[in-house]
Amino acid sequence: MGEFFGTDGIRGRANQYPLTPEMAVRIGRAIGIIFGDANGGPPIIIGRDTRRSGKMLEAAVAAGICSAGTNVLLSRIIPTPGVAFLTRHQGAAAGVVISASHNPYEDNGIKLFNQEGVKLSDREETQIETLIREDASDALKDALGNQVGSIQTMKGSRKKYLSFLLRSIPADFNLNGMKIVLDCSNGAASAIAPNLFDTLGADLTVLSNQPNGTNINYECGSEHPVSLCRKVLEIGADLGLAFDGDGDRLIAVDESGTIITGDQLLAIGARFLYGRGQLWNNVLVSTVMSNIGLKECLQSIGIRHFASDVGDRHVMEKMTDCEAALGGEDSGHIIYRAYHTTGDGLLSALKLVEAMKEEDRSLSAMARFMTVYPQTLINVPVNEKPAIATLAPVTNTIREEEQRLGDRGRVLVRYSGTQQICRVMVEGPTKEAAEQSAQNIAIAIADAIGQ
């Protein structure tokens, strides 16, 4: 991670450094210089989620890109994976998303895709950071007169993305008779997700699809599925599907109101593709945060497992290295590489219901393929982010807890790439053991660097 880029773009409190309009212009200018073409080349596409600050930052980033002589196409409110698709489909120079994903509405961010619809490499991020720090205007020959980029609104952007999603399933596929509850998190999926599942004939109940600029992710969506669980039970639905604010994550709820995690969705997807002979090289990629139970269930049927760093761009890099068709994170970022270049909550939802329909089994029955080890995750607010290895009281506590758990659990401590917190994840033989170890480590971190 650099000065500006975290695990998924640039993120922070909207209208505070580095997400002020002035900085957004500089960031846009740097994007225009790196990816644009001042000689009438392809445009850069910008999409956003439903946050109040989205239009402000969209305008500033667009202005910066135009100042570098590159044209801009605005796709307006659309899920992040929709921008990745449109970038490839339209032959754009790059794609930009104004979103802070699952964060509260006060936050915002800038995510980037290259012309292939893939999130940026470390090298590309470093190039942009260098221009931002040095002020990209110093590297820019003034674009004057008709060399200044123009801004246009793309027509039918959501319709094109919807058509792409429908092409990922058989032409005669339908959800007639399947009762589904959608939670759109008052975010970018609020319009397109109900349209998608209605087109397929599902008996729909839709929650949190009335965005007002300040209710995105508020007690709803993939981060807060409690209301979804209640609604599934209340109406006797077959399943519930929850997206996050920018629509690149999926968390499901089975017919009993039980939350199905991203790791379980990966297990279901891997077995489904494996049975069809479509799991390339019999490999699944997930992150170091994945539950122990995922690797165990894969091994039971001969699927190999590879672990990547946290962040779906790192998952994609590892998938490319080992030629994997499926990969993702327990948070619900899932990449079906035969169809897309990034995590896509709506695509993942389609592949899940396709597997349910083909196997004619309930979601709870399919989820039993993976045994979930008790896991505790504690987010500790911190003032700074020194290397964990330099904090002796913390490393000593981690070592003690690892010895206590032995081969019946594991400990993972890492800083968030998007927030000022340190994540403590512990798996153990029991819920109580995992919670106790996590609490002991969290206390040590709070004592050393806590807010």
Q: What is the pLDDT of residue 417?
A: 76
Give CA–CA dist 336/133, Å, rounded. 36
Q: Which pLDDT value is given to residue 1?
A: 58
Q: Both tokens of residue 242?
A: 């929850």
How far apart are alpha carbons 322 and 341 in whole angstroms?
15
Provide the residue ranges of all domains of the chain, joining segments of one domain with +: 5-156, 170-259, 261-347, 375-449
State the catalytic residues. 101
Superfamily of domain 5-156: Alpha-D-Glucose-1,6-Bisphosphate, subunit A, domain 3 (3.40.120.10)
CATH fold for the domain made of 170-259: Alpha-D-Glucose-1,6-Bisphosphate; Chain A, domain 3 (3.40.120)
> What fold, for 375-449?
TATA-Binding Protein (3.30.310)
Name the token pair of 328. Answer: 């993702």
Give burial (CB, 10 Å; 0-12/13-18/19+) of 32.
buried
Q: What is the pLDDT of residue 11?
A: 94
- Dihedral of CA atoms 187, 188, 191, 193 in degrees, nearest 10, equals -100
Identical fold at 5-156 and 261-347? yes
Q: What is the 3-state secondary structure (H, E, C) of 342-410?
A: CCCHHHHHHHHHHHHHHHCCCHHHHHCCCCCCCEEEEEEEECCCCCHHHCHHHHHHHHHHHHHHHHHCE
pLDDT of residue 147: 86
Q: pTM for the complete prediction? A: 0.90
Q: Rounded CA gap, 157 and 196, in Å? A: 14
Taking the chain (451 residues) in runs of 10, the rounded mean pLDDT of each run is 84 96 96 86 97 98 96 98 97 98 97 96 93 80 83 97 98 97 98 98 98 98 97 98 98 98 97 98 94 92 94 92 97 97 98 97 97 92 95 96 88 87 92 95 97 88
DSSP 8-state assignment for residue 411 = E
CATH fold of 261-347: Alpha-D-Glucose-1,6-Bisphosphate; Chain A, domain 3 (3.40.120)
